[in-house]
Amino acid sequence: MICPEVHKEVARLDGYLDGIAASANGSRRYSAGAFLIELAEPDACIEQAIRDCKSWYSQLAFAQTGRQRLPRGLGSLESEMQPFLVREVANRSAADLENLREYLSFRVMDALWFALEAQGRLRVGPSRAVDVWRLDNEPAPDSSDCTWFCVRVEWGLVVLQFNDDLKWQQAVESGRVDPLCP
């Protein structure tokens, strides 16, 4: 069972990612968040765990080529998430944008570490290392493009989700999609 402190820290991380996406990317095209999945089995399928968690989204499909285990675990995660944190910023040099991405990814990693440590100690899986996976959804015409970074520890998954919502927003505006019915 995951302690309440972990839920609180992941909720805090969720709010932080949402705030970054809303303020740093200008338009409402991009969104981000974090959530927690408690695994029934330590070796449960990550994709199925996300599908179960997002059961309301029946069309959720993962790209066959979009599953990648990050080679250095949390070390790789910090650099891999940077382009998703800040995608568009007006009036910033490339160096300023890179510095902002590095700073924000450091802060996200700090918040993630607090969530992992809140369980009492960092309890890792059988390999004694944190497993980190990147998953991408199968592109669909009227759906958001999503990337998930899944941090697997023995008690569950902490999932960071980054969305490009442009196709979905256009589908809503044209009337092809009802935003209240997933």
Q: Tell me whether residue 90 is in a domain.
A: yes
DSSP 23-67: HHSSSTTEEEEEEEEE-SSTT--HHHHHHHHTTT-TT--EEEEEE
pLDDT for residue 159: 95
Structural domains counted in the chain: 1
Residue 152 lies in a domain: yes
Residue 102 lies in a domain: yes
The pTM of the full predicted model, rounded to 2 decimals, is 0.86
CA distance 169 to 171: 5
Confidence of residue 158 (pLDDT cuts 50, 70, 90): very high
pLDDT recorded at residue 128: 45
Tens of pLDDT, residue by residue over 17-34, are 999 988 876 667 889 999
Specify the CATH number for the domain of residue 98. 3.40.1460
Q: How does pLDDT run across 127-157, given as a tens digit for each residue?
A: 445 789 999 988 778 778 889 999 988 778 9
Domain membership flag for residue 56: yes
Structural domain that includes position 28: 4-174
Rounded to whole angstroms, the Cα distance separating 165 from 18 reads: 13
Whether 85 is in a domain gets the answer: yes
Residue 108 domain-assigned? yes
Residue 125 lies in a domain: yes
- From residue 102, alpha-carbon distances to 77, 86, 89, 97, 152 in Å are 12, 10, 15, 9, 23
Is 179 within the bounds of a domain?
no
The pLDDT tens digits for 49-89 are 888 888 777 678 888 777 899 999 888 999 999 999 988 77
